[in-house]
Structure 1
Amino acid sequence: MTQAIQRRSLLAGAAIGGMTLSSGAAHAQRTAATTAPEVYELRTYHLVRGPMRERLDTYLRDAFIPAARRAGCGPIGVFTVAIGYGTPGLQVLVPHPTIADFAALPDRLAADGRYTAAAAPFLGTTPDAPPFVSLDVKLMRAFPHFPRVELPAATAGNKARIFELRTYYSHNERAGTTKIGMFDTGGEIDIFRRTGLTPVFFAQDLTGAHLPSLTYLLTFPDLATRERNWATFGSDPAWRKLITTPGLTDPEITSAADNQILSPIAYSQI
């Protein structure tokens, strides 16, 4: 995000009258001041039912993820779509330290002997037995004050969980920047945390068919908790005040939204 866009985001956050940051949000801002935002690569592998999934799982688990971690990426999340568009298929979230690291990854993989050996069956597939139908890649940059993926607590305990991937679209860049400001400096992320909407990342989309847009990932123990916590969020007084502030209402800055419910697969690191 450019310095000008950052400045406009801060102004958008300052325009939210009467709102103050919690100690947790203030700590996040202090941390962000010395932490460069990550770049996220979201890979969507489109599949058809049959052996494709096994070929792709083997490649990701045994070749790509270990090598990408050696190259400085991660933690890497791998998800199936439980509810929403994109089934069957896999979504792979790859955090990169910088956009230069994203651009350098193919060369780093090619120079990694362990990767090329483990990936040989995948890279050697033939047209009559392909590993996927097609691959879409979206690049995103983490918000300045949410610069890193936050691993859910359940990751360590290997508990069942779900994720919700949401994208908000705006009709022009000023509206999109204002929406980012609501989250990044205006207190909306703090309301999320307080009402049980546990974030994993927030990011500005750098590529895509319907820019400007932003994307974020939340996690919940289960669907019932998701429904309950979204209801709590929707009735929260601070949220009601924020969403009715002139200049910040949905009709003014958000033109559309979509979401998917995702399930992590066994070897996902998120």
Structure 2
Amino acid sequence: MMAYPIDRRSVLAGAAAAGGVTLTSTGARAQRRAAAVTPEVYELRTYRLVHGGMKARLDAYLRDAFIPAARRAGCGPIGAFTVAIGPGSPSVHVLVPYPSIADFAALPGKLADDQGYAKAAEPFSSATPEGPPYASLDVKLMRAFPHFPRVEVPDAAGANKPRIFELRTYFSHSDKAGATKIEMFDTGGEIEIFRRNGLTPVFFAQDLTGSRLPSLTYLLTFPDFAARERSWSSFGADPAWRRLITTPGLTDPEITTGIDNQILSPTPYSQI
């Protein structure tokens, strides 16, 4: 991550303090511990589908072959989500956390050496043009924020409790603007404001690849749509957020050029 001029950091620190999100000593210690952890690298696979038998074939591959083998290779927990609302439907997002870029690069070799994977993936690997498991595949790499270095698995994961997710990507016009927006979240207090208003984060990451860099991506989770609406309304009215977003140098027109947004549903085999 690029270095920040002192005056930018001062603006962020001052805005966070004015907004009432100054960390307690316990919170500061937790933040320092997080900063000492090497941030994960995330691969976001987007399998684009057409209606028909593709979804069932892809589900079988992800559930029975890819996710178990990737876990054996040291990745995870792995999330798998369908797009419920937003651009790209029908498609399936697969979020794969890696300890490092080297682990990402090593996964294909590990899968090739995994006999259990080869057997379980055989229908997928041998798919014909008449019965493909997906129409196309997009891959994006991301690096977790320094102070949010690991995926936070929701309490409801694996408990068959209803929940939805919201995947958001923020775009900026320059590296400096993008870095400032990352700092607003990572150390400027925005994540703390999210949490206290019920916007429960799963991950925050800087995009390393993509067609509209610089950008950042994050994932939130909610029990349902009503809870989502309440949380976003509460966040929008939060005095600390109102002060933060009107701070000179941190306003949307200065550092953000657009936002992509999708509502996701977890698949039955998602580990997140």
Match of 1:129 in 2: 131
In 2: Cα distance, 1:110 partner to 1:8 partner:
50
Counterpart of 1:161 in structure 2 is: 163
SS in 2 for 1:165: strand
In structure 1, the residue matched to 2:51 is: 49
Q: Deviations over 1:102-156 (max 9, x none)?
A: 1110011001111111111100111222111100000000000000000111115
Aligned position for 1:105: 107
Which whole-Å CA distance do the structure 2 matches of 1:24 and 1:269 have between them? Answer: 30
In the superposition, relative to structure 1, how do residues 126 and 6 fare at CA in structure 2: closer, same or farther (>3 Å)? farther
Q: How many residues of Structure 1 are paired with residues of Structure 2 in the alignment?
A: 269
Deviation, 1:75, is 0.5
Cα distance between partner residues in 1 of 2:243 and 2:93: 35
The yes-or-no answer on 1:141 pairing with 2:140 is no
What is the CA distance between 1:22 and its match in structure 2? 4.5
SS at match of 1:72: coil
Aligned mates of 2:95, 2:179 — CA distance in 1: 23
Give the gaps of 5 or more residues in structure 1. none
Q: Is the 8 A contact 1:163 1:219 kept in 2?
A: yes
SS at structure 1 position matched to 2:70: helix
**Aligned residue in 2 for 1:14:** 13
CA distance in 2, matches of 1:164, 1:27: 29
1:117 aligns with 2:116: no
TM-score (norm 2): 0.94
Runs of 4+ deviating beyond 4 Å: 5-12, 22-25
Paired amino acid for 2:38: A
The answer (yes or no) to whether the contact 1:165–1:261 under 8 Å persists in 2 is yes
Provide the residue aligned with 1:264 in structure 2: 266
Deviation at 1:74, TM superposition (A): 0.4
Matches within 5 A, 1:164-243: 164-243=166-245
| TM-score of the aligned structures, taking structure 1 as reference length | 0.95
Aligned-residue sequence identity (percent) comes to: 70
Q: Is the 8 A contact 2:35 2:149 kept in 1?
A: no
Give the aligned residue type for 2:208.
Answer: L
Q: Which amino acid aligns with 2:63?
A: R
